[in-house]
């Protein structure tokens, strides 16, 4: 039993005394202790060393006090396990030296045995569950197949992921083959995470909003729905699609427990588009954490008033920014707890 189960109760749509709160990327560069570890160990060393991943996951829980922990890792461990090389270059971000550009490139892409190739993630979950001592739930996550394809094809971050879209629109058969292999790997990966004790999973479709509503159905949503269908019998599933307000109606009928929304969609529109029944998560503009704590607190109260206290998980509308003062992140979490 989880001692603080507010987050799980909100995902199940139960009546709560106040909404639960956590922040996407809450284990991040705004925390001074995170920066100390970052100086000593490169990014994938932090991901692959269970002791470090555990220490980083627990850091915001002890220092800021959100109602859920999210395992420190990255969505790009999936392509790595599928035999696609991924580096994290300081100042550049994700860097894939051999991107997928043709059907022939798929020859080297495997659907791995996740118990073997991603065992370090499972060890990190075991260790983190011990460290959390059932105080708060632990969230596991994966990227959506489309968002993973974006990196595999583009080879790096991008403002528009033009090469990824070109690949899908000129070589749709190869694109669907890649998306299906990513989906199969992701399902096995998330089920294994549940076996190791995560209490909910979140699918990050960070670049879903790059697609038109029609293309979204074909290249992203179809595969996310497969993931929901496979995971739903075992755990709560949250789908966060950045810029995907147009899909909220389909998402609400998918069997997901909750839907993430970004700050460009009002609470009113999000409730209207999703039909008013499903739990929503979001959607404070991450840049708004630059405002003074008193302003943050006022705006957080306004956000909860608009979404309503029930069927709502307070969060940011995307990951926390690196240069946010710790006091401001604290004000965000405190404001929800004081509601």
Distance CA 202, CA 205 (A): 9
CB of 16 to ligand CP3, least distance (A): 22
Give the residue, chosen from 74, 126, 215, 285, that forms a contact with ligand CP3 under the rule CB under 6 A: 74
- Interface with ligand CP3 by CB under 6 A: which range of 20-28, 126-134, 220-228, 264-272? 20-28
Q: How far is the CB of 104 from ligand CP3 (least distance, A)?
A: 26
Among 9, 18, 25, 163, binds ligand CP3 (CB under 6 A): 25
Is residue 27 a contact point for ligand CP3 (CB under 6 A)? yes
Residues within window 93-152 making contact with ligand CP3, judged by CB under 6 A = 93-94, 141, 143
Token representation of residue 191: 């089920």
Q: Of 16, 31, 70, 81, which lies in the binding site for ligand CP3, with binding defined by CB under 6 A?
A: 70
Q: Position of tokens 């404001």?
A: 335
26, 235, 279, 281: residue in contact with ligand CP3 (rule CB under 6 A): 26
Question: Which DSSP string corresponds to 27-74?
Answer: SSTTSHHHHHHHHHS-HHHHHH-HHHHHHHHHHHHHHT--S-EE-S--
* Closest distance of CB 276 from ligand CP3, Å: 27
Is 206 marked as a binding-site residue?
A: yes
CB of 222 to ligand CP3, least distance (A): 20
Q: Is 307 in the site for ligand CP3 (CB under 6 A)?
A: no
User: Rule CB under 6 A: is residue 203 a binding residue for ligand CP3?
Assistant: no
**Cα 67 from Cα 65, distance rounded (Å):** 7
76 binds ligand CP3 (CB under 6 A): yes
Q: Which stretch binds ligand CP3 (CB under 6 A): 73-81, 111-119, 280-288, 296-304?
A: 73-81
Q: Compute the least distance from the CB of residue 204 to ligand CP3, in Å.
A: 4
By CB under 6 A, the count of residues binding ligand CP3 is 23
Q: What is the DSSP string of 255-320?
A: T-SEEE--TTS-HHHHHHHHTT-SEEEEEE-GGGGGS-HHHHHHHHHHHHHHH-SSSEEEEESSPP
Q: CA separation (Å) from 44 to 49, 73, 96, 121, 134? A: 8, 8, 14, 11, 27
Determine if 75 is a binding residue for ligand CP3 (CB under 6 A).
Answer: yes
Residues 21, 27, 32, 33, CA torsion sign: positive
Report, in Å, the least distance between residue 294 CB and ligand CP3: 26
234-273: b or e for each residue (b if 16 or more CB lie within 10 Å)?
ebbbbbbbbbbbbbbebbbebebbbbbbbbebebeebbeb
Would you say 37 or 111 has its CB closer to ligand CP3? Answer: 37
CA distance 212 to 208: 9
26/154 with CB nearer ligand CP3: 26
If one asks whether residue 206 binds ligand CP3 (CB under 6 A), the answer comes out as: yes
- CA 296/CA 56 separation, integer angstroms: 25
Bridge-based pairing of strands 87-89 and 93-95 is: antiparallel
Q: How far is the CB of 43 from ligand CP3 (least distance, A)?
A: 4
Q: CA 287, CA 297: separation in Å to the nearest integer? A: 14
Whole-number minimum distance, CB 113 to ligand CP3, in Å? Answer: 23
| DSSP single-letter state for residue 325 | -
Residues 155-194 that bind ligand CP3 (CB under 6 A): 157
3-state secondary structure of 143: strand
Which chain residues interact with ligand CP3 by CB under 6 A? 24-28, 38, 43, 70, 72-76, 88, 93-94, 141, 143, 157, 204, 206, 318-319
Residues making up the annotated binding site are 25-29, 44, 74, 151, 206, 318
């Amino acid at each position: 039993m989880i001692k603080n189960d507010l987050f799980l109760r909100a995902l199940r749509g139960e009546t709560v005394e106040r909404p639960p709160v956590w922040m996407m990327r809450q284990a991040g560069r705004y925390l001074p202790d995170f920066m100390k570890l970052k100086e000593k160990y490169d990014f994938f060393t932090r991901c692959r060393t269970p002791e470090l991943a555990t220490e980083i996951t627990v850091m915001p829980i002890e220092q800021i006090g959100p109602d859920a922990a999210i395992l420190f890792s990255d969505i790009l461990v999936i392509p790595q396990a599928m035999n696609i090389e991924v580096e994290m270059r300081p100042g550049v971000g994700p860097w894939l030296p051999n991107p997928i550009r043709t059907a022939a490139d798929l020859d080297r892409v495997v659907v791995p045995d996740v118990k073997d190739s991603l065992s370090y993630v499972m060890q990190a979950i075991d260790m983190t569950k011990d460290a959390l001592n059932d105080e708060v739930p632990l969230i596991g996550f994966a990227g959506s197949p489309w968002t993973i394809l974006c990196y595999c094809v583009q080879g790096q971050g991008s403002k528009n992921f033009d090469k990824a879209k070109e690949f899908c629109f000129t070589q749709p058969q190869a694109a669907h083959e890649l998306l299906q292999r990513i989906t199969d790997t992701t399902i096995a990966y998330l089920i294994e995470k549940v076996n190791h004790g995560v209490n909910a999973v979140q699918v990050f479709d960070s670049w879903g909003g790059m697609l038109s509503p029609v293309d979204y159905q074909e290249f992203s949503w179809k595969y996310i729905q497969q993931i929901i269908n496979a995971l739903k019998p075992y755990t709560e599933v949250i789908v966060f699609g950045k810029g995907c307000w147009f899909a909220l109606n389909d998402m609400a009928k998918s069997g997901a427990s909750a839907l993430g929304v970004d700050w460009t969609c009002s609470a009113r529109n999000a409730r209207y588009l999703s039909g008013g029944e499903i739990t929503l998560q979001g959607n404070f503009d991450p840049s708004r954490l630059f405002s003074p704590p008193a302003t943050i607190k006022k705006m957080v109260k306004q956000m909860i008033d608009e979404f309503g206290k029930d069927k709502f998980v307070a969060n940011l509308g995307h990951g926390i920014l690196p240069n946010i003062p710790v006091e401001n992140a604290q004000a965000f979490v405190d404001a929800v707890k004081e509601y």
